[in-house]
Amino acid sequence: MKKEVLKEKFKGRKIAIIGDLILDRFVFGSVKRISPEAPVPVVEVLNEKETLGGSANVANNIKSLGGVPILIGAVGEDNFGREFIKTIKKEGIDDNYILKERSIPTVVKTRIIAHHQQVCRVDREKPIDFSQKLREKLMKKFDDVLNDVDAVVVSDYAKGTFSKDFLLHIGKETKKKGIPYIVDPKPIHFPYPYATIVTPNRGEAEGFLKKEIQDENILELFNEIMQKTNWKAILLTLGEKGMALYERGKSKFAKIDARKKEVYDVTGAGDTVVSIMALSLASSLSFLESANLANIGASVVVSKLGTATCSIDELLNEI
């Protein structure tokens, strides 16, 4: 496929993203000494910035790739929630489907970076389970946009948005619409009914079946997962070993080698994978074509520091 054709296919595709919203904060500094109070580095702060994390990073990737993200989720009615809304507007993403709720805190991940290395991460979150009333509000938002989108993404960070009933509703309604449904999963919510394709990493796939994955038993694992689900395909991400794509009914899986890139930071790489899969499948590309593009996009973002996105021009330049 010509690059210009791919760019045109992605342009304007509407993708509904529903999931856990996270505010990612980065504190950049330098280390010149060790604290006299404890054997830890003293980071002198030089700069700070806020970026979109969780399912909001999926939305940011889709926008960077030329698509139109419709982001559905909830943040707290607190200072961090207000900072999240400010950041999302700055990125040019519609916040009309984002709820601001007093009943939940905004999830914040703060990464301390010194000399291009992450020194530590500070998480502001507590285990929460969204109320039935809040989930019903999100369900209404989802139902309102479903007839106007080309694909649906569930971006699950296990921060409280989803329940089994909620995911069943999303799966059933998306199946009725006949559009691709892509899931970035967490084992706690397995099996994500009616998903078109699910994109677990190695740890998440092991969590589905509560068994360890070895390179020699990947096909066996795929078959076992397919017996327990109604998915059409699985894209297993394997870090430096690339990806493995399995489509229902096939006798073998496709191995996609990782591209040779210097890895600076893997933060957000899974968000880029699911974003490119959604746009590609919404553009009627095959599973294998979509997975190859996702692999290229992942190689772009791991070469960047922090929660990063892959633009359409960066993707095309790497093809």
Q: Are strands 41-54 and 21-34 parallel, antiparallel or unpaired?
A: antiparallel
Give the CA distances from residue 162 to residues 159, 201, 264, 269, in Å, rounded to whole numbers and listed in that order. 8, 19, 31, 22
CB contact at 8 A, 128 and 159: yes
Asked whether the CA dihedral 106, 150, 13, 253 is positive or negative, the reply is positive
24, 150, 265, 271: the catalytic one is: 271
- 176: buried, middle or exposed (CB in 10 Å: 19+, 13-18, 0-12)? exposed
- Nearest-angstrom CA–CA distance, 152 and 150: 7
Q: Is 271 a catalytic residue?
A: yes
DSSP for 23-34, please give it.
EEEEEEEEEEEE
Phi-psi region of 210 (alpha: psi -120 to 50; beta: other; left: phi over 0): left
CB neighbours of residue 106 within 10 Å: 23
DSSP string across 103-165: TSPPEEEEEEEETTEEEEEEEE-------HHHHHHHHHHHHHHHTT-SEEEEE--SSSS--HH
| The two structure tokens encoding residue 74 | 């909830």
Taking the C-alpha atoms of residue 179 and residue 223, their distance in angstroms, rounded to an integer, is 24
Positions marked active-site:
271
